[in-house]
Structure 1
Amino acid sequence: MAVPKKVLKRQTLRNIEYYGLQEIFDELYQKSLENRKFRNLMELILMEENIKLAYRNMKKNDGSTTPGVDGKTIEHLAKMTEKEVIELVRNKLEWYTPKAIRRVEIDKGNGKKRPLGIASIEDRLIQQCILQVLEPICEAKFHDRSNGFRPNRGVENALAQAEKLIQSNKLYIVVDIDIKGFFDNVSHGKLLKQLWTIGIQDKKLISIISAMLKGEIAEIGFPEKGTAQGSIISPLLSNVVLNELDWWIASQWEFMPTRHVYKEAIKANGTQSKSKKYRALRNSTLKECFIVRYADDFKIFCRKHKDAVVMFEATKQWLKTRLGLDISPEKSKIVNLKHSYSEFLGFRIKVHKKGKDTKCKPPVDKYVVKSHISEKALKKIKTNAKERIIAIQKTNGSRAGEYAIRDYNSFVMGMQNYYSMATCVNPDIQTLAYEIKTSIKIRLNTRVKRRTNEALTPYLSERYGKSKELRFINGVPLVPIGYVQHRVPLHKKAVVNKYTAEGRKEIHKQLETVDIERVHELMRNPISNETVEFNDNCVSLFVAQRGKCAICKLPLTLENMRCVRKIPKSCGGDDKYNNLIIVHKEMERLIKSQDNKEIKRILNKYKLESNQRRKVNTIRKNAGLEEIDVKALDKEL
């Protein structure tokens, strides 16, 4: 099977193509769109390439180092040969019985505990094998406004959809429904029937998923309902459960068939307009409503209060009758956004009057979205920031102190990236910025310096260079928590899809700019035994090089990336930005190798152009190594 030409792409896409599975997954997606039935999925799940892909995807997950009840982690699998891992999965799936799930509890924002189920590492590998095959099938069935736990979707897309319905569609009445203990109350029988309905009709696979759902929880017993939060496959299964809700809400209005077929225009993003159809539906007795969902957190947007009352009761009854789920009466309500706030994904959303809408005759009041960071989120931000300041205080300028500052900076930048989608993010953060600055002054007063001659890396300079609140500890920058501005949340482009060639092309195009999460990943994982200057410059170079190798231009990850000194320390080099370069690990071998066979192998594999070879030779020359002569190598070998 041909593997498409490699360009800049997400790690999972690289892995899928590396193992030659892209065409298979694309075909599953297309067949699912055509409502085909899938009765032989176990053959795909047990494929050698699928098992290898599962291991590769799983080992990059932070949870792979968390032990299950047997105490084993990814390190246990890493010691096995490929053949042994493949046989392990195939043997276990002959007559599958999962090991007991280790139950742990983590703190929730409201002070309560959230239970997580940690399966054994072998069972997690099996779940990953199944997930990879089920995901393209399910993706073809999911609603466009379902945003949680799905590829190329996230909180930003959910917020963008909600704000569009409020501001553009003028739907100011919101039905807020909170499902009581959703993950703990999912009906196993109903879920298995839903999988069957969307086309997953491999009986062996259904029995395996049933065994996973009913697997023993250590010290508790065998559950009669619920999906374990923390399992690899649970997010997908939870979306399958609520997918039926998405389409039921959609059937009440936007997908209600009409007698007349309206000719609609195609929008710039590739989707079809429905304005003519909606105009006709508004003349009927139907209730105008739209759902936006992220995992089990969803809202229904309505135009009229009386419609919202009907939808509230109808949805409550539907959830109970169809899915066996109850709602939380104290948390579920109807909100008029002109008068009150509605909370969604850590944000408080409302509308406020701003001028007149002159498109209407006569002009009417115009309302625009106004969003804040939720009170709960602000409290959590303050607590987390102070904890990290205390961690810095407990260090004394040692290397541990540098890592503590790095952790604080990573937290602040991650928080700013997320909550910058609130229109009032700056005034909200300023309410706690003074308290955080006071904490820094009290705890780190003697160590914190204003900017003097310390040079900022290009990345930090671009982001915080104009801030007067930037401070330094032993030359290491401490980023200002209050230096943040609002950014508009963006919709997912309709064409973006990891299971179509056109969709992947768009993903690759978008990734020409560096994903900030990859930058944070670098910050959280500094290169050991190197200076903080080296690591900071490494992050800056990663951004400057757009996440690609400076020589071969291949995309870089934590695993294949190497930061190399152009002039080695032994030859008088240092850790300054201009003396460093980020390359693929194979290019590092090419730079340092004195083995002609190894050099020849790499040159043949990567087909470097003359200008790329010149870069390699310049660095080799600086290190006192012999320059690579391609013609001489050809004669010798």
Structure 2
Amino acid sequence: MMSILATAMQPETLDKAWNLLKTEHTPWSVTVDREQLQRNLMRHLLQCREAVLAGRYQPEPLRQFTMAKPDGKQRVISAQYLQDKLVQRALLIVLEPMAEAMFHHDSYAYRRGRSVKMALDKARERIRIGQDWLVDADISKFFDNIPLTPLQKKLKAFVKDADALNLIDKWLKQGAHSSSLFGTSRGISQGSILSPLFCNVYMHEFDQALADAHIPFVRFADDFLLFANDEATAQKALAFAGKRLTQMGLELHPEKTRVVRSSRKVIFLGEPLPQR
């Protein structure tokens, strides 16, 4: 059977990946701009493929810029060059179906065929049946705080291809961004094509722990709701989630996490929740 990396580098997979990226204006690499790429497109694509398969491929440095967050603070976004986007997109095409077979059905972010609307519909459905005491929670600096060593262990169990893992490790070692306080021991790039998948792989343990503890939930990346029939049960669910996340090297945002009864004053994913 062909390895994950070899499958990702098959001409048909690369062609599919390229078709998803070809309208972008991103430079190919530090030394090759978009115009130069178009003049020798096939040569650059083949050189990239050969370097990946030979183990010689080295990621380009991340391009970084800041974006204002709703609270007025700055978020550092790391953008990839097109060459890295192509290789990551090809890998994602192969890894995504494998991940979908594993992920919990109440995780909604970054998944094909799932949406904010679906997450909200599920939340409203749970509230309608009486699970209207909520843990309204947010994970603090989610992308920046994911610990890399535990993430790599989870990816090793999931990917099962040494060459693909070696390549993934090169990207992970770039860290979240150059201003990260943790260097490269924590944090993944928010602008990377594979980062959303890595987040869901990392959080799958949390989803499974909630399910095993019979705590109903809806999770959309670092935002999630836990549902209960009464306040005491919701408080227990909050304690369980907080402890589990701490074990995973993450923490709940103290100002964005609370136990509350559902009402139109409670906003989840930009929409008010119903009052039962």
- TM-score, scaled relative to structure 1: 0.41
CA positional deviation for 1:86: 2.5
2:149/2:185 contact within 8 Å kept = no
Most deviating of 189-198 and 65-74: 65-74
1:296 matches 2:242? no
Could you say which residue in structure 2 is the equivalent of 1:347? 271
Does 1:206 pair with 2:131? no
Q: Distance in 2 between matches of 1:81 and 1:69?
A: 13
Distance of aligned partners of 1:191 and 1:73 in 2 relative to their CA distance in 1, 3 Å threshold: farther
8 Å Cα contact 1:100-1:218 kept in structure 2: no
Are residue 320 (structure 1) and residue 246 (structure 2) matched?
A: yes
Distance 1:309 1:39, change over 3 A: farther
Q: Which residue of 2 aligns with 1:332?
A: 257
CA 74–150 in structure 1, closer or farther in 2 if over 3 Å, else same: farther
Aligned match of 1:91? 51
- 1:160 Cα offset (Å): 0.6
Map Cα deviations across residues 397-426 of structure 1 (whole Å, 9 max, x no partner): xxxxxxxxxxxxxxxxxxxxxxxxxxxxxx
Describe the superposition over 1:231-268 as per-residue Cα deviations: whole angstroms up to 9, x where unpaired.
11111111111122111111112xxxxxxxxxxxxxxx
AA aligned to 1:201 is: K
* Distance across 2 between alignment mates of 1:75 and 1:164: 51
Query: For residue 227 of structure 1, what is the aligned residue in structure 2?
Result: 188
CA contact (8 A) 1:175 1:333 kept: yes
Looking at structure 1, the residues matched to 240 and 177 of structure 2 have their Cα atoms a distance apart, in angstroms, of 38
Conserved 8 A contact 2:37-2:44: no
User: Residues 92-241 of structure 1: matches in 2 within 5 Å?
Assistant: 92-93=52-53, 94-167=55-128, 169-198=129-158, 200-215=159-174, 220=179, 223-241=184-202
Q: Is the 8 A contact 2:176 2:189 kept in 1?
A: no
- Contact 1:146–1:293, Cα closer than 8 Å, also in 2: yes
Distance 1:152 1:106 in 2: 28
Instruction: Mark the CA change 1:176 to 1:42 in structure 2 (over 3 Å): closer, same or farther.
Output: same
Counterpart of 2:134 in 1: which secondary structure?
A: strand
Question: Quick one: which amino acid aligns to residue 208 of structure 2?
Answer: W
Q: Quick one: which amino acid aligns to residue 165 of structure 1? A: R
Q: CA 1:54–1:69 in 2, change beyond 3 Å: closer, same or farther?
A: closer
Deviation by residue 1:531-590 (Cα, 9 ceiling, x = unmatched): xxxxxxxxxxxxxxxxxxxxxxxxxxxxxxxxxxxxxxxxxxxxxxxxxxxxxxxxxxxx
Matches within 5 A, 1:565-580: none
The question of whether the paired residues in 2 share the 8 Å contact of 1:98 and 1:212 is answered with yes
- Which residue among 33, 52, 58 is the counterpart of 2:21? 58
In structure 1, C-alpha distance between the alignment counterparts of 2:9 and 2:83, rounded to whole Å: 14
Task: Mark the CA change 1:210 to 1:308 in structure 2 (over 3 Å): closer, same or farther.
Answer: same
Q: Structure 1 residues 151 and 75, CA, compared in 2 at 3 Å: closer, same or farther?
A: farther
Query: Unpaired runs of 5+ in structure 2?
Result: none
Conserved 8 A contact 1:228-1:234: yes
Q: Structure 1 unaligned runs (5+)?
A: 1-37, 254-288, 352-366, 368-637
Q: Is the 8 A contact 1:42 1:204 kept in 2?
A: yes
In structure 2, what is the equivalent of residue 80 of structure 1? 40
Query: Structure 2 CA distance, aligned partners of 1:217 and 1:186?
Result: 9
User: How much has 1:158 moved relative to structure 2?
Assistant: 0.6
Deviations 1:116-166 (A, max 9, x none): 111222111111111111111101111111111111111110111111111
1:299 partner letter: L
Distance 1:163 1:107 in 2: 31
Return the alpha-carbon distance in structure 1 between the equivalents of residues 195 and 226 of structure 2: 24
Amino acid at match of 1:349: L
- TM-score of the pair, normalised by structure 2: 0.90
For 1:158 and 1:73, the matched residues in 2 are separated by 40
Report the RMSD for the aligned CA atoms in angstroms. Answer: 2.3
Q: Which residue of 1 aligns with 2:6?
A: 43
Cα 1:78–1:41 shift into 2, 3 Å: same
The share of aligned pairs that are identical, in percent, is 30
Measured in 1, the distance between the counterparts of 2:205 and 2:175 equals: 28
SS in structure 1 opposite 2:103? coil
CA deviation map 1:75-102 (0-9, x unaligned): 5433324354133232145233212111
Superposition deviation, residue 317 in structure 1: 0.8
SS at match of 1:310: helix
